[in-house]
Structure 1
Amino acid sequence: MFLDILGLIVIGLVIGALARLILPGKQNISIVATLVLGVLGALIGGFIASLLGTGDIFELNVLGFVLAVVAALVLVGGYAGTAGRSSRSVRH
């Protein structure tokens, strides 16, 4: 169980970093936010892959990895869009 969680954290960091590299433009996101969004992407991708019958949610496979990166792209893009919008000053 501990190794599953540690593996999820490591792969989540990799997936979050990949999503940030693939996404065009600069995202002002901390490493912690990248980790959390990557872990969420990994969980979403693993869950969808397990629904498709490719293995367990904690099992590393190609389809799960691709789906995790796509999910992380959506999450990072959404987070960067909302975080960037709230940090801009509004001119009157």
Structure 2
Amino acid sequence: MTATGILVAIIIGAIVGALGRLVLPGRQPIGILLTVGVGIVAAVLGTIIAQNVGVATTDGIDWIELAFQVGLAAVGVAIVAGLQGRRGIR
């Protein structure tokens, strides 16, 4: 993977992670770096799921793929926030 590819993955991960946090109600006690990390993982998994379903190669913006990514990011942020909350962070 090139440096440009890594930079694009980080930017998309940050956007997907932020959208995942926006979908969840309330406050999540996790930092921005953890949000970006969850977003990157969700973006990769969402793309894999979209490719397996057959909706990743469409003209224009892949809205269904984006929905998979944001949904996975919301689930990931909820899981990480729940784990952070159990550690006693207040």
Which TM-score tier does this pair reach, normalised by the shorter chain? 0.7 to 0.9
Instruction: Tell me the amino acid that sits aligned with residue 8 of structure 2.
Output: G
Instruction: Tell me the amino acid that sits aligned with residue 63 of structure 1.
Output: I
Q: TM-score of the superposition, structure 2-length normalised?
A: 0.85
Q: Could you say which residue in structure 1 is the equivalent of 2:68?
A: 67
Computing the radius of gyration over CA atoms, which structure comes out larger, 1 or 2?
1
Q: Which runs of 4+ in 1 moved over 4 A?
A: none
Q: After superposition, what is the alpha-carbon deviation per residue over 1:19-63, rounded to whole angstroms, capped at 9, x for unaligned?
A: 11111111111110000000011011000001112236xxx6211
CA distance in 2, matches of 1:43, 1:81: 22
**Where do 5+ consecutive residues of structure 2 fail to align?**
none
How many percent of aligned residue pairs carry the same amino acid? 37
CA distance in 2, matches of 1:38, 1:13: 6
Alpha carbon RMSD of aligned pairs, Å?
1.8
Q: Which structure ranks higher in relative contact order (CA pairs < 8 Å, sequence separation ≥ 6)?
A: 2
Q: TM-score of the superposition, structure 1-length normalised?
A: 0.83
CA distance in 1, matches of 2:32, 2:47: 22
